[in-house]
Amino acid sequence: MRRLILIAIFSLGFTLASAQTWEAGGFLGSSGYMGDINPVKPFKFTNFAFGTQIKRNFDGYWSAKLAFMEGKLQGNDANSSNLYQRQRNLNFYSPISELSLQVEFNLFKYLAGADMYGYGSRKLSPYLFLGVGAFSFNPLTEYNGDEIELIAVQTENTVYKKNGISVPYGAGVKYNIHGNFNLIGEIGYRTTFTDYLDDISGRYPDFTVITPRSPISQQLSDRSALPQIGIPGNQRGDFRIRDTYMFAGISLTYTFVPIKCPTF
């Protein structure tokens, strides 16, 4: 009896291990942001983005993915349809880098190459994902022909970090092109715990009672045309406490499927 139990445990463990596969590939697409300059357009992707990923497929439904993404965020009040934003006249651009760990759930059983080894699976499946990420950013702007690091001039007389934690979530579709190759389309959003992706959050500071960090702090804090709207104490951005960034694009991946041992 003990021998039979050991054989059963070993066989179950081997079956589970065989169902696990590694997957790796690259990502090409676009990046965007939602915040004080773009408060209402969740599909406004503005810049090129790329990335890489490695994934552990536990079965046909569940996967864990480690991904690195690189892109650029930007926004410009001058392009807004909102009259107040055009008067405010603020703008920024920022590199964005992210390392994240995500869990994916396939709505249908999906395991690339599984049919080649007798496992059986769907060639196409929608999926959902959720995770946690660490990211870095650095809002910049141009002033009189020079590139200015906005965090250095403290336009709101506030110090904030250039890195943080995000919560990635989204959806996509996987398609098994042939054998072990997969084509994946995905759109994902990242809720952050900062309101300074665009260097806009709080209120206009009173530079008559505080010492500016830089000679151009006041000019970059209120870039509106005369008469200027940057009254000290007035809200400079919107009242949302978090900014969001997003990626959308296509991945090409290769799944390393273990060879199924023969059954005796």
Per-residue pLDDT tens listing for the chain (264 residues): 445 333 433 443 344 344 568 999 999 999 999 999 999 999 999 999 999 999 999 989 999 999 999 999 999 999 999 999 999 999 999 999 999 999 999 999 997 765 554 455 688 999 999 999 999 999 999 999 999 999 999 999 999 999 999 999 999 999 999 889 999 999 999 999 999 999 999 999 999 899 988 999 999 999 998 888 999 999 999 888 999 999 999 999 999 876 554 444
Cβ-proximal residues to 170 (8 Å cutoff; 6+ apart), any chain: 128, 129, 186, 187, 188, 189, 246
Architecture of domain 19-256: Beta Barrel (2.40)
Per the listing, tokens 């009259």 go with: 83
Whether residue 36 contacts residue 77, with contact meaning beta carbons closer than 8 Å, is answered with no
pLDDT at 226: 82
Contacts 24+ apart (CB under 8 A), 136-139: 136/95, 136/96, 136/97, 136/162, 136/163, 137/73, 137/94, 137/95, 137/96, 137/97, 137/162, 137/163, 137/197, 138/94, 138/95, 138/162, 139/92, 139/93, 139/94, 139/196, 139/197, 139/198, 139/199
pLDDT at 112: 73
Q: What does the alpha-carbon distance between residue 247 and residue 154 come to, in Å, rounded to a whole number?
A: 28
> What is the pTM (predicted TM-score) of this model?
0.86
CA distances from 46 to 33, 67, 193 (A): 8, 21, 22
Q: What does the alpha-carbon distance between residue 84 and residue 172 come to, in Å, rounded to a whole number?
A: 36
Would you tell me how many other CB atoms lie within 10 Å of the CB of residue 210?
Answer: 12
pLDDT at 225: 86
Q: What does the alpha-carbon distance between residue 234 and residue 205 come to, in Å, rounded to a whole number?
A: 8
Q: What does the alpha-carbon distance between residue 52 and residue 50 come to, in Å, rounded to a whole number?
A: 7
Whether residue 220 contacts residue 148, with contact meaning beta carbons closer than 8 Å, is answered with yes
pLDDT at 11: 41
Instruction: Kindly write down the DSSP assignment for every residue of 151-215, as one continuous string.
Output: HHHTTTS----SEEEEEEEEEEEEEEEETTEEEEEEEEEEEES-S-TTS--SB---TTTS--SST
